[in-house]
Chains A and B, each alone.
Chain A
Amino acid sequence: MSQDPPCTGACSGETAPDPSRRTVVQFLAAGAAVASTGCSLESFFRKSFRELSPAQVRRYIAELEGRYGRKYGKTVTVGTAGPMEGVKFGYGLDLSRCVGCRRCVYACAEENNQSRKNPQIHWIRVLEMDKARGVDVNHSDIYYDAAEVPRPGHFYMPVQCQQCDDPPCVKTCPVGATWKEKDGIVAIDYDWCIGCRCCMAACPTEPGTSTGPSRTSPPPK
């Protein structure tokens, strides 16, 4: 499946050149523009982002399926299903089961390949609280260093993004890098984030991490 790129003024009224040749010319022109402005190719494509048309999506999916099929020697199907109608994702937590072992904290850092140190980025923090006070975030402790958990008289609450229904981070972001999807997920685009940390200040659960480059992440396995 092929799709001609949009016709520019240069080709109106003339015999249309070969589409592949025209694409190459457009690409070279874009490269020259990038070189003249001094910005990287990656940043150029970020700023020149545009949504794919349904025909382009079908073409890229077919390319991916062919590529993966050749790589793995199997028939591969790549899905493009979007969010399901009438489904809204939320966040659930059973406090009665948590013992404060922090296994989830480190599993999350490994799964998402977060920076291990300098800076250490944890998307989950476990709050230790006094049973006598009940849920009192102001008197909670995330730095508890016990020999064994659960410690008597305490209970534990892992805190991460709560996928708020009316998220303050979305309201406060000055550049629109954070938004709420229709199916309930709060999303962040790292490329749009300018690192102002307004979302951290606005978040009621104090995630304690900001988006940014992971400096000490090990290479993927």
Chain B
Amino acid sequence: MHGKRVGQWNGERTYLLCVHCHNPHSPRFKPIKPLPPPQRPSEMKR
């Protein structure tokens, strides 16, 4: 389990970064397609 905190926020917790297991330079994180941008106010109809 890496890349996030697990356990209790006010008790015992484990915080492992991605780089605790992975080499951050190879392979690189792949770019991903973002979800659509928000509507502009002019595009919204009441």
| B35 contact set on A, CB distance < 8 A | 101-103, 105-106
Closest A residue to B17 by CB, please name it: A97
Q: Is the CB of B37 within 8 A of A119?
A: no
Known: A99-B29, A117-B44, A149-B32. A122 touches B37 (CB 8 A): no
- Centre residue among B10, B33, B34 by max chain A CB count within 10 A: B34
| B45 at the binding interface (Cβ < 8 Å) | yes
Main secondary structure of the interface of B (DSSP, over half): loop
Complexed CA–CA distance, A95 and B37 (Å): 19
| B37 contact set on A, CB distance < 8 A | 102, 142-145
| B46 at the binding interface (Cβ < 8 Å) | yes
| A146 at the binding interface (Cβ < 8 Å) | yes
Closest A residue to B31 by CB, please name it: A148
| A147 contact set on B, CB distance < 8 A | 33
| B45 contact set on A, CB distance < 8 A | 118
Closest A residue to B3 by CB, please name it: A97
Closest B residue to A147 by CB, please name it: B33
| A23 at the binding interface (Cβ < 8 Å) | no
Known: A118-B46, A119-B44, A120-B44. A148 touches B38 (CB 8 A): no
| B40 at the binding interface (Cβ < 8 Å) | yes
Q: Is the CB of B39 within 8 A of A120?
A: yes
| A150 at the binding interface (Cβ < 8 Å) | yes
| A1 at the binding interface (Cβ < 8 Å) | no
| A150 contact set on B, CB distance < 8 A | 31
| B36 at the binding interface (Cβ < 8 Å) | yes
Closest B residue to A100 by CB, please name it: B34
| B32 contact set on A, CB distance < 8 A | 99, 101, 148-149
How near does chain A come to B25, taking the closest CB pair, in angstroms? 15
Digit string of A145-157 for contact with B (CB within 8 Å is 1, else 0)?
1111110000000
In chain B, residues 1-46, which have Cβ atoms closer than 8 Å to a Cβ of chain A?
A: 10, 29, 31-40, 44-46
Closest B residue to A146 by CB, please name it: B34
Name 14 interchain pairs, CB-CB below 8 A, sorted by A: A87-B10, A100-B34, A101-B32, A101-B33, A118-B44, A120-B44, A142-B38, A145-B37, A147-B33, A148-B32, A148-B34, A149-B32, A149-B33, A149-B34
